[in-house]
Structure 1
């Protein structure tokens, strides 16, 4: 009898979920995020045994990117990548991008097969979100303890030395946290301090505004994400005295692109 009730409950859910997806904005919002996260967790579970064969290898991120990028189809998103020739170069860069949502990570998944050798900075808490955290660790992702400044500086210094030696890229979100209010917020200095100290060029990446997504109203419609890679900004000959100028120049260029692409997207 209990098994029969379970079967009936499952059948009802299978009938109701598609209806809610089509008729309820709130249900569609949560279902899309559930599909996205569940898919990435499933991929992590499948890939973890293979990643254990070469742990902490950032080439694992390229594999993850190729597979996880299919999540965009499941949640009705298209990704348009512009100026990928810059990010495809076999050079070391400090990549900086605006940060609006967890969907930025999906954009990174689309770029990893092009970037090939690129690592990223994440807060320590992400590691404990298994299986995603474990998968990310096996891919070589760098986890920073935000409550330990000295330890964070040490990790970042070692990371910069490594990416210069191995000609890899390092992705950082300089705003420090996610903002979805239609503008690029002031940058923290960490990424620019690293770039100048290591004499590595800065590569700005701009995601257009996610007008199809509204966290307050709980709407998540089909849409297009335009990812624009800007020309590298050299730090050659710069000192830490130039940090504010480099930061402001980068912010200005990214903000200009952000507003131009948004205007184009809405027209």
Structure 2
């Protein structure tokens, strides 16, 4: 895909083309991705999408969303830029690289990015947890950067919750569940009229909504997952 991407470097449309091709990777697994309330993503507008983050496999779910959202890009840690093949592909697709170790520079990059989002009516996918979370019970605390940038640019925030799709037994041994994985879009949160002082409350309000939905989806997944857990393992997966 590089020859085409080079003709339109840094275009968010490149990411959609890549997602259409690469989403077939999901068919190599037993994971069936189901998008709910996808119509929320179809509106031609700039927005910031916030989603929970479980593992590198999240990108398979992003491919499903990308095809519906049309013009969308994402945040990635700057270290990925130096990964052979992947780094240059991400760059050509308009992925935004930030230094997670430098909060001020990361926020500055986000502010620059939101102006481009408004200009080209593009959506930006952010993982506010800041790192991968394999906890079935709850989401990690959210970092405020994406929410502050949304308020500063007066952009709506679209929460997306991905149901848990893997559970860790112990150590590095992991069991991938077979079956459907739900990607649910929640009602967007407007930021028009909000001020910087409103960011903490906005962050906590959205996290609470996403956490409640995550727990609901967790219970739903456990109801139809085709996996037999022993008593010890099952007790570790109890929803609290």
Query: The TM-score by the shorter chain falls in which range?
Result: 0.7 to 0.9
CA contact (8 A) 1:94 1:202 kept: yes
Which residue does the alignment assign to 2:143?
A: 188
Higher strand share: 2
Which residue does the alignment assign to 1:217?
A: 173
CA contact (8 A) 1:212 1:222 kept: no
Paired with 1:98 and 1:155, the residues of 2 have a C-alpha distance of: 21
Which residue does the alignment assign to 1:204?
A: 159
1:142 corresponds to 2:76: no
Query: Which structure has the larger Rg?
Result: 1
Paired with 1:179 and 1:260, the residues of 2 have a C-alpha distance of: 17
Provide closer, same or farther for how the CA distance between residues 146 and 70 of structure 1 changes in structure 2, counting only shifts above 3 A.
same
- RMSD over aligned CA atoms reads 1.5
Q: Displacement, 1:88?
A: 1.2
- Write out aligned runs for 1:92-111 (5 A): 92-111=46-65
Task: State TM-score, norm by structure 1.
Answer: 0.79
Paired with 1:52 and 1:138, the residues of 2 have a C-alpha distance of: 7
CA contact (8 A) 1:212 1:223 kept: no
- Write out aligned runs for 1:102-251 (5 A): 102-182=56-136, 183-211=138-166, 216-251=172-207
| Equivalent position SS for 1:111 | helix
Paired with 2:47 and 2:168, the residues of 1 have a C-alpha distance of: 30
Paired with 1:243 and 1:209, the residues of 2 have a C-alpha distance of: 27
CA contact (8 A) 1:213 1:221 kept: no
Higher helix share: 1
Q: Displacement, 1:99?
A: 0.3
Q: Displacement, 1:48?
A: 1.6
Paired with 1:145 and 1:48, the residues of 2 have a C-alpha distance of: 25
Paired with 1:124 and 1:112, the residues of 2 have a C-alpha distance of: 21
| Equivalent position SS for 1:218 | strand
Q: Describe the superposition over 1:32-77 as per-residue Cα deviations: whole angstroms up to 9, x where unpaired.
A: xxxxxxxxxxxxxxx1222112111110000111111111111221
| Equivalent position SS for 2:116 | helix
